[in-house]
Amino acid sequence: MGQMFADNPVVAHTGARYPIIQAPMTWIARAQLTAAVSAAGGIGVMETSSVDLEVTSREFEAIREVTDKPFGVNLAIMFLRQNEEMERAIIDWLIEHQVRFVTTSAGNPRRHVDQLKEAGVVVYHAVPTLDAALKAEDAGVDGLIVEGAESAGIRNAEEVNSFVLLQAVRERVSLPIVAAGGIADGRGMAAAMALGADGVAMGTRFVASKESPVHPNYKNAIVEAGVDGTILLPRPPRAKYRTLKTPAALEVQENPDNPPRLSNAIDALYIGGDVENTTGTAGQSAALVHEIKPVSAIIEETVSGFWREIDRLAAMRT
């Protein structure tokens, strides 16, 4: 299986066996999950926005203790811009620790891309629109993570879904594309590749994995969610936010001008398992997640399902 993605630009850039990325997720994408994804042949991406550099360093070393396989680090640009000292420190730290693959999100990558690339770091930037994709290409990034409106978390208010967004970006941009949003298995991966992607990123699928550190109630809420199990809530001033349709999320939807104050999701849901009184980040892909599984099974089944779909389509020629 190892050679099967040999000509793939995401595999070439990351050094992983498969072009399957575990999306960065606040608090969740730390050593336990990220190491498991990389050890299984995918590309774990560690988040850095919910902790200080000391914790980031500890998590980084913990991943290195578990696996010698490649993994990436995410920089949330908007978050870093609020703290210039942290911004400088983390860029220096990335370079010093010879991190080879960085994803940037939530902001303009131009600010960091030259310095990182000069140090030999491959930079992929997450974009929710065609316009942002063109700007990122212009800034000199090595690849794009194209996030459709199906995706979990903070979304663009324009709500363009992956089916059109991937094709629109592919028409105009020649950089490697990683598709994010709406993908939880090999069928979704094959579809994304047909629409122009070179790899996929999954977030929600990995939240409901054995190695994900969140409370079982959150994982089970993802497993139980149907195709209408998530909603997009307003996230002032301009964005939206995709979350599980919890009672608290519905209350926010019904009272957009005077939303209720919700419990902090990390404390209440991730740690406490309360799925009633807060929102819980999840994508529409939750409808395709039917079981909590070990990360290795998720990766293996995604790869085998991908080739099954490719064979099914190729058989149309015979």
Ligand X SMILES: Cc1cc2nc3c(=O)[nH]c(=O)nc-3n(C[C@H](O)[C@H](O)[C@H](O)COP(=O)(O)O)c2cc1C
Q: How far apart are CA 226 and CA 128, in angstroms?
A: 24
Decide: is 43 part of the binding site for ligand X (CB under 6 A). Answer: no
Decide: is 185 part of the binding site for ligand X (CB under 6 A). Answer: no
Q: Which of 22, 48, 56, 204 binds ligand X (CB under 6 A)?
A: 204
Decide: is 287 part of the binding site for ligand X (CB under 6 A). Answer: no
Q: Which of 44, 143, 176, 181 binds ligand X (CB under 6 A)?
A: 181
Q: Which of 10, 40, 282, 287 binds ligand X (CB under 6 A)?
A: 282
Q: Which of 59, 142, 147, 211 binds ligand X (CB under 6 A)?
A: 147
Give the shortest CB-3-to-ligand X separation in angstroms: 27
Binding mask 73-112 vs ligand X (x if CB under 6 A, - otherwise)?
A: ---x----------------------------xx------
Give the shortest CB-237-to-ligand X separation in angstroms: 19
Decide: is 24 part of the binding site for ligand X (CB under 6 A). Answer: yes
Those residues whose C-beta lies under 8 Å from the C-beta of residue 217, and which sit 6 or more positions away, are 269, 273, 274, 275
Give the shortest CB-313-to-ligand X separation in angstroms: 23
Give the shortest CB-316-to-ligand X separation in angstroms: 28
Decide: is 23 part of the binding site for ligand X (CB under 6 A). Answer: yes
Nearest position to ligand X, beta carbon: 203
- Residues of this chain that interact with ligand X (CB under 6 A) are 23-26, 28, 47, 49, 76, 105-106, 126, 147, 150-153, 180-183, 201-205, 207, 281-283, 285
